[in-house]
């Protein structure tokens, strides 16, 4: 089998109808409520594999699009703290990442794992966090991803699709792929998680309850961790952080009403970091991934530092094509920073290569 390996360094530069088992989503705050005129948007709730749990899913594609293919069908999954909607479909300077891909002829989806965004909030989130054990860990997230993938494949009458995961979403997507290569065309891991050699920026002090709460100041400070002082002022274009934070806060109707307002995030992932990733273990075997894979991140990422990708890359021994791209002057959240177009371009090129090969 042909094998292509690549390491690419990008220096900083100017930013250049519902299926039978799904129900329409109602009253969901939309980070990108008005898609470009040439795009159609649908929202739905997909039943999870567990009774009583509904997974929020959003879909965008070219208006009038009627032909769908595995190589041009994409699913986004979010990270440990923030929902998919404001991660991938937040219009900044008139463009979201979801729109960028959809405008290039792709059928694009995003989803919220239970406990995040508009998906079902487990009952433990209605109580004080210390009253219950951590919820929504990687195993549960993979179950939710599996339900949504199966829904999309049935909806479009396909056998496979493309997957993009960010941060914790790289471990959930990679774990899913390792057990379901037959349903995946290509895999994109943006800011990959692997074994920790440094402290986790999401690890709370003291006991780990069902969920954690995040204040605006904490979110901003985490974002700026590792950025040189002389680069902080122009890293995020004016107004973008507030747009993102306000939209993200609105996705949590209960936390946003507290004083001060907070975003609640399930702690299953935090327990996984403590018991698995910090212990030199993992939720999947990289050697079991047999599809083309892209690892991509930015140089100032302190949540999942570049040493993680460098350690993971050589372990992907059975991927027929693998690539690692490092973007200059960006953080864990480079997709909402001045150099976000570098991320968009590189991921799009990887996806398009697969589409054009058919």
* Average pLDDT score over residue span 152-170: 98
The residue with greater pLDDT, 206 or 317, is 317
* Number of other residues whose CB lies within 10 A of the CB of residue 278: 16
Mean pLDDT of the chain: 91
Per-residue model confidence (pLDDT) at position 224: 97
* Residue tagged 């001045």 (tokens): 338
Residue 15 has pLDDT above 70, yes or no: no
- pLDDT, tens digit (0-9, with 9 covering 90-100), for 88-137: 999 999 999 999 999 999 999 999 999 999 999 999 999 999 999 999 99
Per-residue model confidence (pLDDT) at position 204: 64
Residue 292 has pLDDT above 60, yes or no: yes
The answer to whether residues 194 and 277 touch, using CB atoms and an 8 Å cutoff, is yes
Per-residue model confidence (pLDDT) at position 356: 75
**Both tokens of residue 117?**
């965004």
Read out DSSP for 304-318? Answer: S-HHHHHHHGGG-TT
Residue 29 has pLDDT above 80, yes or no: no
Residue 358 has pLDDT above 70, yes or no: no
> Domains along the chain?
4-356 (3.40.50.1820)
CA atoms within 13 A on the CB side of 240: 22
* Residue tagged 């109707």 (tokens): 253
pTM of the model: 0.91
Per-residue model confidence (pLDDT) at position 354: 79
- E strand intervals along 122-215: 161-166, 184-190, 211-214
Per-residue model confidence (pLDDT) at position 130: 96
- pLDDT, tens digit (0-9, with 9 covering 90-100), for 233-283: 999 999 999 999 999 999 999 999 999 999 999 999 999 999 999 999 999
Per-residue model confidence (pLDDT) at position 32: 58
Residue 16 has pLDDT above 50, yes or no: no
Q: For the chain, what percent of residues have pLDDT higher than 90? A: 85
- pLDDT, tens digit (0-9, with 9 covering 90-100), for 186-241: 999 999 999 998 777 666 667 899 999 999 999 999 999 999 999 999 999 999 99
Confidence of residue 19 (pLDDT cuts 50, 70, 90): very low
Confidence of residue 33 (pLDDT cuts 50, 70, 90): low
Phi, psi of 250 (to 5 degrees): -65, -20
């Amino acid at each position: 089998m042909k094998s292509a390996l690549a390491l690419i360094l990008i220096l900083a530069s100017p930013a250049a109808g519902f299926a039978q088992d799904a129900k329409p989503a109602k009253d969901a705050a939309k980070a990108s409520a008005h898609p470009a005129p040439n795009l159609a948007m649908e929202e739905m709730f997909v039943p999870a594999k567990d009774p009583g749990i509904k997974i929020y899913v959003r879909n965008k594609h070219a208006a009038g699009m009627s032909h769908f293919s595995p190589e041009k069908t994409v699913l986004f999954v979010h990270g440990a703290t923030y929902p998919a909607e404001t991660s991938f479909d937040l219009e900044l300077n008139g463009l979201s990442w979801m729109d960028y891909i959809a405008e290039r002829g792709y059928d694009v989806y995003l989803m919220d794992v239970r406990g995040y965004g508009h998906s079902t909030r487990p009952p433990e989130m209605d109580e004080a966090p210390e009253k219950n054990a951590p919820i929504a860990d990687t195993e549960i997230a993979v179950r939710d991803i599996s339900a949504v993938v199966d829904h999309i494949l049935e909806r479009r009458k396909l056998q496979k699709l493309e997957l993009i995961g960010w941060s914790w979403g790289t471990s959930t997507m990679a774990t899913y792929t390792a057990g379901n290569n037959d349903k995946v065309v290509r895999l994109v891991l943006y800011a990959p998680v692997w074994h920790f050699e440094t402290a986790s920026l999401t690890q709370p002090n003291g006991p780990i309850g069902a969920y954690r709460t995040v204040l605006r100041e904490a979110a901003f400070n985490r974002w700026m961790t590792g950025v040189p002082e002389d680069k902080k002022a122009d890293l995020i274009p004016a107004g973008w952080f507030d747009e993102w934070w306000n939209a993200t806060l609105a996705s949590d109707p209960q936390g946003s009403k507290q004083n001060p307002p907070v975003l609640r995030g399930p702690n299953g992932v935090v327990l996984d970091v403590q018991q698995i990733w910090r212990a030199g273990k993992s939720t999947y075997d990289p050697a079991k991934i047999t599809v083309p894979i892209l690892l991509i991140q930015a140089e100032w990422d302190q949540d999942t530092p570049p040493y993680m990708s460098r350690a993971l890359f050589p372990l992907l021994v059975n991927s027929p094509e693998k690539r690692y791209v490092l973007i200059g002057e960006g953080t864990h959240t480079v997709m909402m920073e001045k150099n976000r177009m570098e991320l968009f371009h590189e991921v799009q090129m990887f996806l398009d290569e697969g589409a054009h090969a058919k």
